Amino acid sequence: MEVSRLVLIPVPYDSTTSFRSGARDGPESIISASYGLEDYDPELELDVSQLGIHTTAALEPHMGGPGPMVDRVREAVASFLGSGKPEPEKTVGLLGGEHSITAGSVQAHLQAYPSLSVLYLDAHADMRNEYMDTPWGHASAARRVHEMCPIALAGVRSLSQEEHRFIRSSNVPTWFCPGPGDNYIPVNDLLAGLSDTVYISVDLDVLDPSLMPAVGTPEPGGMGWGQLVSLLRKVGESRRIVGFDVCELAPNEGPTACSYTAAKLVYKLCQYACALPRHG
C-alpha cells in the first residue's frame, strides 16, 4: 500500500435507497469482475495495474443512519489524504454503494484540496434538501456537495419541481440528457464551471439503461459508454482529477456485463486521474 498511487475503498452501503435496493452488493461485484478484465488498455497504451492500486477492506456500514455513515466515509478517505500538507500522494476512489457516500468523500477531499470542484454525473439531480426524513440520503447528495464547493451536474433527466427551482435560483450548472443534438453535452461550457482540481462522482444510472440496467433507479435515455468516457477523458486532460467514486451498481438487477462495465469505468478513472498528460 505504501507504494501505491491509488487507493480504492469499497463502501457496501444502501440504507436510503428508495426504489430497488442492492447497491450494497456493488463493490464486491466490481472487484470480482475486475479479475476478468485485461489490465492493458490500448487507449493510453498503459497497463493500469502498473499505476499501483491498493484496494482496502470494505468499509463497515454504520447502523446509526446516513449521517454517521457520511462521517465514517470522511474519516476513511481522510486517513489516506492526510492534512494536505504536504499535498496528498494518493488518489482515493470509492466503490459504492449508494450515492449518499459521496458527501463524506467530498468533505475529506475539500480539506486536502481547498479549491476543489465536483463533477456529478447522475440521471437524477439529487438536489432535495431532505428526503424520507434525512438530509443525508442519496436524493440529497448533490445538495450537500453544493453547500461545500462548486458543483456541475451532467446527465440529469429526472428531478422534482423543487429541485428544478433550486437549480435555477442557485445557478447550479446543469446539463440535461438528452439535450440538443441527442445527448450532446457542451464540454467546454461544462469545464468552465470546474476548478483546476476536480472530484468526479458517477452514479451508473447516468448511462442508458439498455447498457446499464443494474441500478437502483433506472431512467430512460442517458449517456452511452463512448460519450461518458470521452467526457471523463476531456476533464482529465484539462483538469486534475484528485478523487472519484462510482456508485449505485445493483448487480442483481441486471446481467453480469453490468459489473464488468462498472469495473472498466473504475479502471478508466484510475488512468484519467493518474496517467493523462494535462493541457489547455
Residue-wise pLDDT tens digits, 32-63 = 999 999 999 999 999 999 999 999 999 998 88
Please give the tally of structural domains in the chain: 1
Cα 42 from chain centroid (whole Å): 24
Q: What domain range is 235 assigned to?
A: 6-274
Residue with cell 441500478: 215
Q: Does pTM surpass 0.85?
A: yes
Cα 39 from chain centroid (whole Å): 21
CATH number at residue 18: 3.40.800.10
Flag whether 145 is in a domain: yes
pLDDT band at 14 (very low <50, low <70, confident <90, very high): confident
DSSP secondary-structure letter at 60? P
Find, among 106, 102, 77, 93, the residue nearest to 13 by Cα.
102
Flag whether 280 is in a domain: no
Contact 198, 239 (CB under 8 A): yes
Flag whether 18 is in a domain: yes
Q: How many helices (H) and strands (E) does the chain have?
A: 9, 10
Q: What is the mean pLDDT of residues 161-188?
A: 85
pLDDT band at 258 (very low <50, low <70, confident <90, very high): very high
Contact 277, 240 (CB under 8 A): no
Contact 14, 23 (CB under 8 A): yes
Residue-wise pLDDT tens digits, 94-119 = 998 888 999 999 999 999 999 999 99
Flag whether 279 is in a domain: no
